[in-house]
């Protein structure tokens, strides 16, 4: 259990966007197991978020679900207000919320491009803006990129562009928060067995992607959650970095 905190009751608090499914769900469970009170943000699936919260509370943890669009500044301000009122403050913000729509650049529907940019870029900006103002001393802001920014797979151009923007804002925010004792990093997963990744892929392609990793398997959401937990807790000397959690994929 992590024990670095500045509040009076010893409780560390994490807000996880996109926390009801895939990697976000694994992150929520990992941070809860590490002793955090966790706010599970959802955009549309309240039932999944509430079910996860109920599981955590049943095990003796502290959790709350909070709904709202990450790209809506007023909605996110209200979510931060709710979490602070519920738990007394916020120590860690994890931005797992994101969407991925694939297409060759020459054929992409620009509406799909705009959807990804709204969630992946604007959403990260909106959440980071609140986090930069409200995360407590000794805290962490953890954004999400993708290893595709380095592997350059075809059809991922628009998605990779949105995540490259996330990387840039992460590195700059880390430097803008000089003197506040708040770390800012991004996690860049490789191929990970989540519904977002598996959707639309046949078994042959999935096997090919798994074999492209030296460890010859897909990552699991829990693999990514381990890296997030490290950055959220003991990794106080890791700042302004993109952590490629991808099993060694080149």
pLDDT of residue 4: 41
pLDDT of residue 9: 64
One of 159, 170, 191, 218 is an active-site residue; which one? 159
How big is the chain by its Cα radius of gyration, in Å? Answer: 17
pLDDT of residue 1: 41
pLDDT of residue 141: 98
pLDDT of residue 249: 84
pLDDT of residue 203: 86
Helix (H, G, I), strand (E, B) or coil at 84: helix
This prediction's pTM: 0.93
**Closest listed residue to residue 224, CA positions, set 179, 193, 183:** 193
The CA-based dihedral angle spanning residues 206, 207, 209, 215, taken in that order and rounded to the nearest 10 degrees: 130
Q: Reply yes or no on whether 42 is catalytic.
A: no
CB within 8 Å of 190: residues ≥ 6 apart: 147, 213, 219, 244, 245, 246, 247, 249
- Domains of the chain: residue spans and CATH: 12-190+221-245 (3.40.50.720)
Listed as ranges, residues in the chain with pLDDT below 70 are 1-9
């Amino acid at each position: 259990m992590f024990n670095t905190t500045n509040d009076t009751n010893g409780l560390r608090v994490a807000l996880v966007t996109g926390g009801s499914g895939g990697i976000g769900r694994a992150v929520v469970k990992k941070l809860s197991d590490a002793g955090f009170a966790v706010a599970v943000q959802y955009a549309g699936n309240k039932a999944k978020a509430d079910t996860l919260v109920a599981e955590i509370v049943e095990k003796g943890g502290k959790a709350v679900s909070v709904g709202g669009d990450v790209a809506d500044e007023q909605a996110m301000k209200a979510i931060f207000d709710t979490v602070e009122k519920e738990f007394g403050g916020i120590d860690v913000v994890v931005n797992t919320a994101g969407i991925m729509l694939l297409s060759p650049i020459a054929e992409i529907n620009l509406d799909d491009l705009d959807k990804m940019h709204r969630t992946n870029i604007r959403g990260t900006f909106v959440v980071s803006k609140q986090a930069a103002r409200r995360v407590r001393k000794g805290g962490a802001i953890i954004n999400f990129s993708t290893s595709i920014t380095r592997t350059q797979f075809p059809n991922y151009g628009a998605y990779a562009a949105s995540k490259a923007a996330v990387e840039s804002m992460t590195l700059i925010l880390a430097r803008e928060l000089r003197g506040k004792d708040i770390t800012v990093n991004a996690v860049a997963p490789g191929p990970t067995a989540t519904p977002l990744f598996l959707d639309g892929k046949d078994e042959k392609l999935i096997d090919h992607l798994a074999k492209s990793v030296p460890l010859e398997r897909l990552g699991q959401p829990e693999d990514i959650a381990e890296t997030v937990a490290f950055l959220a807790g003991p990794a106080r000397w890791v700042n302004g970095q993109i952590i490629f959690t991808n099993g060694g994929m080149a």
